[in-house]
Structure 1
Amino acid sequence: MSETAPALQSVQDRRPAGESADVIVVGAGPSGSTVAYYLAQAGLDVLLLEKTAFPREKVCGDGLTPRAVKQLTAMGVSLDDKAWIRNHGLRIIGGGVRIELPWPELGEFPDFGLVRTRHDFDQILAERAVSAGARLLQRTNVTGPVIDPRGNRIVGVNAKDPDGEPVTYRAPLVVAADGNSSRLSVAMGIRKRDDRPMGVAVRTYFTSPRHDDDYLESWLELWDRTEGRDVLLPGYGWVFGVGDGTSNVGLGILNSTASFRDVDYRALLRRWTESMPAEWGFTQDNQQGAIRGAALPMGFNRTPHYTRGLLLVGDAGGMINPFNGEGIAYAMEAGHIAADVIVQAHARPTQQTRERTLLRYPRILSETYGGYYTLGRYFVKMIGQPEFMKYATKYGLPQRTLMRFTLKMLANLTEPTRGDAMDRVINGLSRIAPAA
């Protein structure tokens, strides 16, 4: 637990129920805390509502690419704590090939990644939001929107306080950062899109001598034995050293094949880890905690990202990268974008000009990620073809230059201007791909 955890609770204890704010943020995960941090920094009165209490666990690979590291440093998060485990790049295993690819050296992003468990990662970001002036209410479960019948706009939320008593909070703008299920978005009529990829991730922890590995490790081949035959599944496995004596071991499966719904993910993870070298310690005796799973909403699978006073960020807006399943970096980036738009809208003198400004939010998201996420959807379809994956791992992995390009593409790590030839190709493809 972070040393400053009591400050979070004391903020809640000092505040009465049923208050108002300039903005309500529902959910204190990475996206919600980032929004709250930048809004509070700009002087807005922000109410950050979290249904659980910190510290709390979330299902995640715990690995952070340089994109996420950039967002952490921008928020003033200190990385001196020894619990931040630095890594140099990505180790890829598949088709009998093992290759280590350092993170690219770029001016736009740092050249290292991090690992830290979600047990206290989210709390660290929430603490940054509180330090900037946001008002955090923990164990406050939002049950639905408050709608103004005159304008059919959201003007607050109904919730239950820590004692289970109903309470209403009001604000002219609300940010939905309440995760994949996003009950608030559903209540506002914003449903998931069936034309976007979806994944499932399962993970657990093992006591292992590999806990201090300084590379993130990705296994590109996931085999499942079904009815006496081996089936190559669309997804990947991972091994991330946490540095505390344990490794985070998990797998992600995409819905790009018919076998997606028939997979017993937990059983598959158990079979996969049992096939690992014995000296790694990935056995039930060394397992720390249960196997837990979560959905991975990808490629903007819930839109529009702004409507009638409600902005969507993070998993609520389906912002996970289809190429690699990364969500934290994009949640934090979108949170920063949303905060910038809200601050600008707050300064406008009329409701009409405020609304015009708020409508920029989905356009900025589309311009920033739309083409790249479209490429990601094509990629998901390709890796859903077993023959393509067999060919790619056999002939692609040994080609180091090609794999350097692939790492930049999958992790979205390029220089926006004046990059090398690889950067120009990736950026060019992202620009010309349709953002629909």
Structure 2
Amino acid sequence: MLYVSWNCPSDMASAHHDRAQVDIYEKLPVPFGLVRFGVAPDHPEVKNVINTFTQTARSDRCSYYGNVAVGRDVTVRELQQAYHAVVLSYGAEDSRALGIPGENLAGVYSARAFVGWYNGLPENRHLKPDLSCETALVLGHGNVALDVARILLSPLDLLRKTDITASSLAALACSRVKRVWLVGRRGPLQVSFTNKELREMINLPGARPVLDPADFTGLANAVKDAPRPRKRLTELMIKTALEQPAQETAAAREWGLRFQRSPQEVLPTADGTRARGVRVALTLGGSGDSAQAVPTGEVEELEGGLVLSSIGYRSLPLDPAVPFDPRHGVIPNSSGRVRGAPGLYCSGWVKRGPTGVIMSTMNDSFDTAQAVLEDLQAGVLDVAASREGFGAVGSILRSRGVRPVSFSDWEKIDAAEVARGKAAGKPREKIVDPEEMLQLIGH
């Protein structure tokens, strides 16, 4: 029997080996990681991947153990002693800092925390963002930036039909935000959001796009030979910018893209307690994806009492026994094999950095699983030596007072959430307090 421990909240993938037993450890009581806590509530179709994960978790060769924090409740070395292979796939649970004065002022939040707040991530349930201003600034030009802008401007009737948390829906109902500017350091050819996300934003009911046609001068020719996704994305921005005069101007809300502006300082209010805007340096850049933003010497002040930083995520070290590259925020590896640690593997954002969508992360986990199989066939993994798997880990957890949550336990939580949601006319009402989750299943 090959025992594999998969510390993996969002990539529930079992290696194709007819004797493999995969145990999944998750820090929270509930599974699905990024799919549950990262995907926007108005994108239910993306969450359908949960069905595949559930099929895997219900396999008699796969077991789920939630409420177990690897690195705290059980060490990686203890897992290595209990399993033939250990795969670390814990993602990127921190945000990149802006590194500018004023980013700790009230009214400044990471987009990661904001997304976690409206998606019910327990650590962000007490965020209480101040939505009393009319203008919000989102620093970044990626899909997450568009997500938070869309949630801020979406009609409440649309959000009420989603699994957005009750507390965030109540806060958004009182929001005064009616204008969102998405600010990026580089130009239109370097935006990292996708065509689908942009089109959804353009078609958002009750919100008017405001794009400056001058930002796109000459770009139609510049992208003629560009890859098709980049060409289509640029053409959509150009079309939207040129059609603005004919659009309905009485929209209650509006949003726009601000290019070639690099944040220099979050500006405080007169009393120094809150954010009132952001000072940006105007930049110049080249035409390629890797073009750098070069300051011109000019600065500009953008007004906005809500500032959301969406400039990327970063992974954190998990355990002293695991090598970690703090500069790149990844576990040093070769095709998923952790360098200098036979039998230890990694997958997802902690393997290659915080880029890509759920499908690319799933494919990456398949590649790591293939590396495990190759090492098994090559004799790198000594499966002749017996390993106890959860039999050993369970004893360690009991000695430390840790009670794991099984997949059947999760299904009880799931049923309760769905029932609460049905009563409110929603697909589910997420439970955001881990203690309430544990009480529900008798822990």
Q: Do these two structures clear the TM 0.5 threshold for a shared fold by scoring above it?
A: no
Higher-RCO chain (CA-CA 8 Å, sequence separation at least 6) = 2
Larger radius of gyration: 2
TM-score by length of 1: 0.29
Q: Which has more strand, going by share of residues? A: 1
